[in-house]
């Protein structure tokens, strides 16, 4: 490791094995954060210009170079060398190599501790909007299936045993409602990360009149997060919250996957998975397997583990920054990107799902009419428990009605006979508006960098 690349290097040699160990996966993981780090650096530099730390030309040079770095990072061309320790170091090295003293001044008033939190929050804000958009696409698919199958009689299950007559539409609507429940949690997580950490520095501020409100505004954050130590204590905690939301959604998808694996079994055959989403066996020529659903389920299990991993890392730490926190980066980056992938993949499965309404109907066991027979007697004035006991003595003998009649008779709020998709559609519409508004807001923030690349050379202008 060369002496000059590490920001804190004072000439004493660092053991190569220790260097590798402490750097860990940072060069690779930080590749995903460079563009966000550049954006945050542009806001920070703009503020430094305002308080007189940078000259006008220094600022325009920095904005131009940061814009170039962000563009390279987006094309996957901004490499972080292992001997640079992390992305923040690579960025500063690059600015210094290109701009000299302007590059040496950019770290004034900040620490890598607030720098990394800023990049992670900017990254997470965009991922949450992307996740919401994809989740709403999936909800829309589930609602279409619910609408199309609202009359498809099938058994409703408890304990994976037939319980009562129901419909396939009711089943799909239940999953749509469950996923919609995640929206307020996503918004809470968004609000949590929508606070600027910059100015926290290492956790105790700096002896400069930093304008933290300006930096927050430039980055489109709702406000700065106030207490500089609270900012540092939030590392790990934010990751835990974001992964809780990711795990909540992934777990719902895992359960939907389990349902669909069962429903598409040879024995039940209520639905069929399209060839395009099933995979074959190397030995049994006839097989088409639901590997995709099994992996959704397993990835959901992993996501729950990712959340636990973060809790274990940050849970016992004293206040302030500790290098332990570096290891919360991998679970966050992989977990939040991972859940977006799960939602998208489940979308592919539902898009091509075929329903066999006849098999759904034919599977319904006559004995599932037993509870309805009890209620017929209750309606005639018999006490429930007596009616229950009489029917229990001969459940098969109670049969008379068709399954469809039975679920249609359950027409109170939320029951299969009163499937009302209207409220879900309203929630969907409202969610789409949130995605559009936030998406525009977050996209506009990048003008801080893109305007520096504009042909008129107006690199950022006056702060
Ligand atoms: N790679 C580090 C992390 O993710 C950046 C912060 C390093 N700060 C420090 N004081 N060593 O936590």
**Which residues make Cβ contacts (< 8 Å) with residue 275, sequence separation at least 6?**
288
Torsion of CA 266, 272, 275, 281, to 10 degrees: -20
Both tokens of residue 106?
A: 């950019």
Question: What is 328-378 written as a DSSP string?
Answer: GHHHHHHHHHHHHHHHHHHHHHHHT-EE-HHHHHHT--GGGGHHHHHHHHH
**Vertex 285: Cα angle to 284 and 291 (nearest 5):** 70
Report the DSSP pairing between strands 279-280 and 288-289.
antiparallel
Q: One digit per residue, pLDDT tens: the chain, 463 residues?
A: 344 578 888 788 889 999 999 999 999 999 999 999 999 999 999 999 999 999 999 999 999 999 999 999 999 999 898 788 899 999 999 999 999 999 999 999 999 999 999 999 999 999 999 999 999 999 999 999 999 999 999 999 999 999 999 999 999 999 999 999 999 999 999 999 999 999 999 999 999 999 999 999 999 999 999 999 999 999 999 999 999 999 999 999 999 999 999 999 999 999 999 999 999 888 988 889 999 999 999 999 999 999 999 999 999 999 999 999 999 999 999 999 999 999 999 999 999 999 999 999 999 999 999 999 999 999 999 999 999 999 999 877 766 667 899 999 999 999 999 999 999 999 999 999 999 999 999 999 999 998 877 655 444 444 3
Nearest CA to ligand 1 atom 2: 326
Can you list the pairs that 236-240 forms with residues at least 24 positions away whose Cβ atoms lie under 8 Å? 236/310, 236/313, 236/314, 236/315, 236/317, 236/325, 236/328, 237/314, 238/117, 238/120, 238/121, 238/124, 238/192, 238/193, 239/120, 239/310, 239/314, 239/328, 239/331, 239/332, 240/307, 240/310, 240/311, 240/314
Task: Identify the H or E element spanning 166.
Answer: strand 161-167
Query: Which residues are the active-site residues?
Result: 159, 281
Give 111 Cα–ligand 1 centroid separation in angstroms: 9
Residues of the chain with CATH 1.20.200.10: 114-151+167-208+218-362
Cα distance between residue 132 and residue 126, in whole Å: 10
Smallest CA separation from ligand 1 atom 3, residue: 326
Q: Which atom of ligand 1 is least distant from the CA of 85? A: 1
Instruction: With residue 165 as reference, give the H or E element that holds it.
Output: strand 161-167
Residues 114 and 205: their CA atoms lie apart, in Å, by: 10
From 113, 310, 328, give the residue whose CB has the most ligand 1 atoms within 8 Å, as the site to mutate. Answer: 113
Q: What is the CA(96)–ligand 1 centre distance, in A?
A: 20
Residue nearest to atom 12 of ligand 1 (CA): 326
Dist. CA 201 → ligand 1 center (Å): 12
Instruction: Please tell me whether the overall predicted TM-score, pTM, comes out greater than 0.85 for this model.
Output: yes
C-alpha to C-alpha distance for 138 and 206, rounded to whole angstroms: 47
How far apart are the C-alpha atoms of 360 and 189, rounded to whole Å? 40
Which CATH architecture does the domain made up of 114-151+167-208+218-362 adopt?
Answer: Up-down Bundle (1.20)
- Report the topology of domain 3-108+445-453: Fumarase C; Chain B, domain 1 (1.10.275)
- In the chain, CATH 1.10.275.10 sits at 3-108+445-453
CA angle 273, 274, 279 (to 5 degrees): 85
Nearest CA to ligand 1 atom 11: 323
CA–CA distance, 381 with 376 (Å, rounded to integer): 9
Residue 396 has a pLDDT of: 73
Query: Rounded to the nearest whole angstrom, what is the distance from the C-alpha of residue 83 to the centroid of ligand 1?
Result: 15
Ligand 1 pocket, CB under 6 A: 26, 86, 112-113, 116, 321, 323, 325-326, 329
């Amino acid at each position: 490791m060369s002496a000059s690349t590490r920001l804190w290097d004072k000439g004493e040699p660092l053991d190569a094995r220790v260097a590798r160990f402490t750097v860990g996966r940072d060069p690779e993981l930080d590749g995903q954060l460079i563009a966000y780090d550049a954006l945050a650096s542009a806001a920070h530099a703009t503020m430094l210009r305002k308080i007189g730390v940078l000259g006008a030309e220094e600022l325009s040079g920095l904005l131009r170079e940061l814009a170039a770095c962000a563009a390279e990072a987006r094309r996957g061309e901004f490499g972080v060398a292992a001997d640079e320790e992390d992305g923040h170091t690579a960025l500063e090295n690059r600015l210094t190599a290109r701009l000299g003293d302007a590059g040496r001044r950019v770290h004034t008033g900040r620490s890598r501790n607030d720098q990394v939190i800023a990049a992670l929050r900017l990254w997470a804000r965009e991922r949450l909007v992307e996740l919401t958009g994809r989740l709403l696409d999936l909800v829309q698919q589930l609602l279409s299936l619910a609408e199309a199958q609202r009359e498809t009689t099938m058994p409703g299950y408890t304990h994976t045993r037939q319980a009562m007559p129901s419909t396939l539409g009711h089943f799909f609507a239940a999953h749509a409602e469950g996923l919609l429940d995640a929206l307020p949690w996503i918004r809470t997580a968004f609000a949590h990360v929508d606070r600027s950490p910059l100015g926290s520095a290492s956790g105790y501020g700096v002896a400069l009149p930093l304008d933290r409100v300006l930096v927050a505004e430039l980055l489109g954050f709702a406000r700065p997060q106030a207490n500089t130590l609270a900012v540092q204590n939030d590392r790990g905690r934010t990751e835990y919250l974001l992964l809780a939301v990711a795990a909540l959604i992934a777990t719902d998808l895992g359960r939907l996957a389990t349902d669909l694996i069962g429903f598409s079994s040879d024995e039940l055959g209520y639905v069929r998975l399209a060839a395009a989403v099933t995979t074959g066996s190397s030995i049994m020529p006839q097989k088409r397997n639901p590997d995709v659903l099994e992996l959704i389920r397993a990835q959901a299990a992993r996501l729950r583990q990712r959340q636990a991993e973060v809790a274990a890392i940050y849970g016992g730490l004293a206040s302030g920054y500790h290098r332990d926190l570096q290891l919360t980066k991998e679970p966050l980056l992989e977990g939040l990107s991972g859940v977006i992938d799960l939602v998208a993949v489940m979308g592919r499965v539902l898009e091509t799902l075929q329903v066999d309404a006849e098999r759904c109907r034919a599977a319904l066991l006559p004995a599932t009419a037993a509870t309805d027979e009890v209620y017929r007697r209750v309606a005639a004035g018999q006490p429930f428990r007596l009616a229950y006991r009489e029917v229990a003595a001969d459940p098969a003998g109670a049969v008379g009605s068709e399954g469809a009649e039975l679920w249609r008779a359950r027409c109170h709020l939320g029951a299969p006979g009163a499937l009302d998709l209207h409220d879900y559609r309203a929630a969907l519409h409202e969610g789409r508006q949130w995605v559009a508004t936030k998406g525009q807001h977050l996209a506009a923030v990048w003008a801080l960098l893109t305007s520096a690349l504009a042909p008129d050379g107006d690199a950022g202008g006056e702060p």
